[in-house]
Structures are given as C-alpha cells and as structure tokens.
Amino acid sequence: MCVGRYKYHSFYYLLYNAGEPKKKRRKKEHSYALLLAYQGKRYCGMQVQKDQPTVEGELFKAMAQCGYIPEEDIFSPIRFSFQRAARTDRSVSAARQMCSMRLFLENHENFLKTATGELNKHLPDDVRVLGVRRAIRTFTAHRDCDKRTYSYTLPTFAFARPDELTTSKYRISEISIADLNDVLAMYKGTHNFFNYTSGKLVSFYRTLS
C-alpha cells in the first residue's frame, strides 16, 4: 500500500512539474591566482582609476565581458577581493605580475580551462594573461609575496661626469661602469632602508641580491 501511494504521488508530481525549468547550478566562490604580463607605456599605472587608462581597468573590463564579474564591480575590485603582488606606476611594465581574486562561478573547472584564452580575446595586445590557477582560500597575492624582482633601464648619460659632454653619441666608459657597479654592490645584502621609505612601514629591512 505504501509503495502504491509512493508511485501515485510520484506520477502526479512528474505530471504537474514536467514543464518547470530545472534549477540553475548554484554558483560557488573560489580563490584564484592569475599571472599577468603587460607593457605599461600607455597606462597611468596598474591600479584601476576612473577616467584614466590603467592595466587593471583593461583586465576588469575583460573579466566583465567574459561574465566573470558584474559590470558594476569594474571600479570596485574589493568586491571580489582582488590583490596584486606589486603596484606599478605610470609607464612601468611587468614581465610577471601575480594577482589574486575570489570569484562566484557556475563552472569552476571550465573557467580554469578557458579563462586564459577568453580573457586574452578581450584584452589589448599590451596586456596578456599568462595563466590562471586555483588557489587556497586564504591566498592573497600581496601578503603572500615573499620576493620581488625589479629591472631598471635608463640612459648611460645619467652617470656621466659633470665635465663630460652628453650628446646622442655619448657612451659610458668601462671604467665608469666598473665604478658604478662598485657603488651598487654596497646595497647588496640585508640593510635598513628607512631613508628610502615614507617611514610608515612595519619593517625597513630589505634583502637585495
């Protein structure tokens, strides 16, 4: 009798609910690490700004176009816990820049497979996503970064002596290069760099290799 009642109710449930749409898969929040590279020449730094071209501005617009974030979050990255390992200024480029974020997505596995290609379709040629990986829940690119590598390029006439002519034909001498390297070598190792900071850091000690 119980079995018959079960079949009876199941039949009418299927009859009256056959036309109802299936429930959408619930979106789940996951943490991700995104590796970025960009040429900063035409940008006013990395950090997103309204009315200014920035690297993050291009990235967030691409993310919105792909449906990874709502359009209203483009200028509010705190809403998806976005962090970058290091902030770069106007015209500064990055060969490798690590970013972290938390996203609500319906299909996590598909995102990992396709996000790099989909984002690059919507990004300008001077901003490229190199890869996306799942991260642990507590990962943040800024806090968990334990090392940063910087490369500075400048014309050699910046090191010319006051009495030297610095026309376009100027080339620094081997002796001057050796003297410069001797001075720069003094910064190697662990030192207190208080005089090079705003004075608001937790620690002023840094190690240069």
DSSP string, the chain: -HHHHHHHHHHHHHHHHTTSPPPPPPPEEEEEEEEEEE--TTSS-SS--TTS--HHHHHHHHHHHTTSS-GGGTT-GGGGT-EESS---TT--EEEEEEEEEEEES-HHHHHHHHHHHHHHHS-TTEEEEEEEEE-TT--TTTT-----------GGGG--TTS--STT----HHHHHHHHHHHHTT-EEEE-GGGS-S--S--EEEE-
In the set 89, 125, 146, 163, the catalytic residue is: 89
Q: Is 144 a catalytic residue?
A: no
Catalytic residues: 89
